[in-house]
Structure 1
Amino acid sequence: MRSSVQKRPVEAPPGTIGTARVERRSRDLVARLRPGDIAVVDHLDMDRHTAQALVDAGVVAVVDAVAIISGRYPNLGPQLLADAGVEIVDGVGPAALGAISDGAAIRLHDGVVLVDDVEVARGRVLDAESVAAEMERARAGLATQLAGLTHNSTELLRREQDVLLHGIGVPRLATRIAGRPVVVVAGDYDQDHELAGVRVFLREQRPVVIAVGTAADALRRTGVRVDVVVLDADDELPSAASLRAARDVVVRLDRGSSPAILGQLDRLGVRPVLIESAVAAADAALVVADAADPSVIVAVGLRGTLAELLDSQRTGVASAFLTRLKVGPRLVDGAAVPLLYSGRVRPWHLLVVMVAGLVALAAAISVTPVGHDWASDLYDIATGLFS
């Protein structure tokens, strides 16, 4: 006998469900993320670079122990997360990092973090509208940031005036740069999009290509020959193949230091030249290129606007600011190249213009009495040839 009671499907609990990946430092978390995960971090004022890495990893939500927008300045990360449809819950508190186990299944609902349906933390939910409102309020903090940038720039210029103002200590390269265009590529900011925009320029102008750090590997994979690799003594090395293929390898290191990277390069058979300075590696690449007297320097993947520099959250903001002042009119942002350079004039371009001009000339002559006589003569000649 069949029961008259029908089983009803169990409704899924409300909210966003995913596997928690817990790490205080966002950059250490990215490699462990999988699509559908929920990133649990401790990242004040998340920058755009980190947010893009989280979006690329396929996270469905970000839980931040602190304020993802503190209001100090309009950081660009939260807007990118919101535009990508990633749920944001911030301000859950540092205790949440201990209460949420790495790899645990968690659920987010109205700002509440639940593990096995038990609340372990609670924070603020940010959607696209609230992120936009917070960003607008954060713009008021730019004045304070500018004051700090001015002070840091003055201190850096006092320490680095030999390098930045007089070029003392800037190494000479084996690669010939004088009078040639240079493209400096750093894998820091929107590199792939900007690199696609300068493809025609790279192919036709054959500039000197300077890669910063692991950007050398990315360029090599896409078939772009790298002439110079600039490394930071504290950062990850590109592959041995990329280093050996370059004509010059430059290492930026702090004054008086003897970093382990020099021993690593020696074991690879690479003999680098050194630049001792506190500026960041990407800025050192601009300084080295500028000292060799190029015709123009195209910067790909380097932050250029004030908001982007502040968003980078690094002590090198002052060095980036001063370096761009030093390079001055030689520097062109990679994003502007497609607007300024569309390619060389090719022979078929001239042929099309010539044919169009001849057609226009023939049309103009054909409506004159002389044109009628010429057309009649041509007709008689053609008739005689084929009769």
Structure 2
Amino acid sequence: MKMSGLLNRRSNDLAGVVGAVRQVPAGAPAPKRLGGKDVVVLDLNRTSAATARALVDAEVAAVVHVARPGEEMLPRAAFRILAGSTVPVIEDADLSGVADGTRVRIDEGVVYAVKTDEELATGREAGSADLLAEVDAAESSYVESALAHLANSTEFLSIEHQLLLDGEGLPEIDVDFVDRHVVVVTGSESSKEQLADLKPFIREYRPVLVGVDGGADLLRAAKLTADLVVATPTAVSDEVLTDGAVLVVPADRDGRAEGLERISELGIGATTFPAAATARDMALLLAYHGGAEMIVATGEARGLENAFGASSSPSSTMVDTTVASRLVHAEACATLYRSRGAGIGLALVVLAALIAVAVVVLMRDSAQDLLVWAVESWNSFALWVQGLIR
């Protein structure tokens, strides 16, 4: 008997379920052609009811729930749908780094590689009763967190409503935001990649660049010069502080600010911004009340999944609402710009084709015929390009 036959026989004789890993990105629909030989790895906190039903209908071998680090369970319908099915659900087994197609065996919550029988992750199988109890508890916790967060946001509004509505208390700074595009770069983990995606947009529009805390160092690392830095001096490098950008230091409402000693040691100037808001929110308010046409912000997108968590600031809820008419998330901006860029590229290809046809017509017909054709073609082309850019 061949060795491959022995291996297959051995994997089939061992306890548990066997299948090939299928990684599903957060929020993505269920892949096509799922079946009983697939072990689907996803974040059920960001899985729609439609995707969960597709997994059940496909009778996949198992579902491995990999939540974001430190994130609590959200009361998503996907948990209830899977709880009402026969599909095994494995929790706390991190298979996010396991490649698509890897054959695994899952037995009592422990995940093994079929090829080597190496233990890849240890979790636990959540039965239907466990899942239902967990999602009920998650629902109560979620609502309680939302009520507490909204109460804190309302308190912030009562304190800072003049700042939010009219910009009262904003420091005067030498940065011209009027009718400009603004890119606010935060120090979050996702900002570095988002900033790289925004490079073409930045090259064309030359927006005002604002670095917030660690985001100022990200701008510098990307060889971009910040126009404004809103940061606690101890949160950024000396190079950022001395690059020549306008520096705004967040302060408490009583005027106390951390790290001013460092400013004095470096011999540079800075303006304090006393407010009960985060540095990121201060940057957004400066741009908004300064007359910015559009504000692009990097960092994690705010949605119901993370709106009331420990990482969400009550001030951000109110500030985002204040600037909502001009605020665009970096990922959305990069996506729209890529689509626009593709349209313009196509337009240039069409223009080249028109020129080529013009040469042919010139060789064959009279100059007058060519002129009439060229005017008509150019008008049609111009209208088409305008439609792409709008």
TM-score (norm 2): 0.57
Structure-2 separation of matches of 1:169 and 1:309: 27
| Secondary structure of 1:250's aligned partner | strand
Higher relative contact order (CA 8 A, sep 6+): 1
CA 1:221–1:111 in structure 2 vs 1: closer, same or farther (change >3 Å)?
same
- C-alpha distance in structure 1 between counterparts of 2:161 and 2:170, whole Å: 12
Residue 283, structure 1, aligned to residue 295, structure 2? no
Q: Return the alpha-carbon distance in structure 1 between the equivalents of residues 192 and 132 of structure 2.
A: 30
CA distance 1:353–1:365, change in 2 (3 Å)? same
Structure 1 residues 364, 196: CA separation in 2 closer, same or farther (over 3 Å shift)?
Answer: same
Is residue 304–residue 333 contact of structure 1 (8 Å, CA) maintained in 2? no
Distance 1:134 1:194 in 2: 38
Matched residue, 1:82? 94
**Aligned amino acid, residue 160 of structure 1:** E
Which position in structure 1 is the counterpart of 2:248?
Answer: 250
Deviation at 1:349, TM superposition (A): 6.7
Q: Which residue of 2 aligns with 1:380?
A: none
The alpha carbon displacement at 1:139 in A equals 5.1
Partner of 1:321: 317
CA RMSD in angstroms, aligned pairs only: 4.3
Contact map agreement 1:186 1:211 (CA 8 A) in 2: yes
Which residue of the partner structure matches residue 155 of structure 1? 155
1:332 aligns with 2:332: no
In structure 2, how many angstroms separate the alpha carbons of the residues matched to 1:358 and 1:132? 65
Q: Which amino acid aligns with 1:322?
A: M
Relative to structure 1, is the Cα distance of residues 286 and 79 closer, same or farther in structure 2, using a 3 angstrom cutoff? Answer: farther
Given that residues 249 and 272 in structure 2 are in contact (C-alpha distance below 8 angstroms), is that contact kept between their aligned partners in structure 1? yes
1:298 corresponds to? 296
User: Any residues of structure 2 matched to 1:77-226 within 5 Å, and which?
Assistant: 82-85=94-97, 125-126=123-124, 138=138, 141-226=141-226
How far apart are residue 81 of structure 1 and its match? 8.0
CA distance in 1, matches of 2:351, 2:74: 60
CA distance in 2 between counterparts of 1:84 and 1:317 reads 28
- What's the offset of the Cα at 1:134? 9.0
Size of the aligned set, in residue pairs, is 266
- The structure that has the greater radius of gyration is 1
CA pair 354-225 structure 1, distance change in 2 beyond 3 A: same
Q: Distance in 2 between matches of 1:159 and 1:196?
A: 37
Deviations 1:99-134 (A, max 9, x none): xxxxxxxxxxx999xxxxxxxxxxx94589999989
Task: Give % identity.
Answer: 28
SS in 1 for 2:315: helix
Q: Following the alignment from structure 1 to structure 2, what is the Cα–Cα distance between the partners of residues 165 and 304? A: 21
Q: CA deviation at 1:285?
A: 1.0
Q: Does 1:227 align with 2:227?
A: yes
User: 1:69–1:309: structure 2 CA closer, same or farther, 3 Å change rule?
Assistant: closer
Q: How far, CA to CA, are the matches of 2:227 and 2:300 in structure 1?
A: 18
Partner of 1:355: 352
SS of 2:292's equivalent in the other structure is coil
Aligned 8 A contact 1:82 1:128 in 2: no
The answer for the alignment partner of 1:38 in structure 2 is none
Is 1:309 the counterpart of 2:307? The answer is yes
Counterpart Cα distance in 1 of 2:157 and 2:330: 26
The equivalences for 1:359-370 within 5 A come to 359=356
- Preserved contact between residue 181 and residue 293 of structure 2 (Cα < 8 Å): yes
Cα distance in structure 2, aligned partners of 1:338 and 1:80: 34
One-letter identity of the residue aligned with 1:307: E
Equivalent position amino acid for 2:160 in 1: E
Aligned counterpart, 2:262: 264
Q: Give, in whole Å, the separation in 2 of the partners of 1:205 and 1:81.
A: 45
Distance 1:292 1:340 in 2: 25
Query: Structure 1 residues 274 and 126 mapped into 2: Cα distance closer, same or farther (>3 Å)?
Result: farther
The separation in 1 between residues aligned to 2:308 and 2:152, in whole angstroms, is 13
Indicate the larger mover: 352-361 or 169-178: 352-361
Q: Is the 8 A contact 2:182 2:207 kept in 1?
A: yes
Q: Secondary structure at 2:248's aligned position in 1?
A: strand
Cα deviation code 1:176-214 (max 9, x no counterpart) = 221110000001241122112211111111111101112
CA separation of 1:267 and 1:347: change in aligned 2, threshold 3 A: same
In structure 1, distance between residues paired with 2:71 and 2:127: 14
For 2:274 and 2:354, how far apart are their aligned partners in 1? Answer: 60
Q: CA deviation at 1:238?
A: 0.9
Deviations, residues 70-105 of structure 1 (Å, cap 9, x unaligned): 55778xxx999824359xxxxxxxxxxxxxxxxxxx
Secondary structure of the residue that 2:182 maps to in structure 1? strand
* TM-superposed deviation, 1:310: 2.9
Letter in 1 for 2:330: G
Residue type at the aligned position of 1:156: F
The C-alpha deviation readout for 1:144-173, integer Å capped at 9, x for no partner, is 332222212111100111211221111122
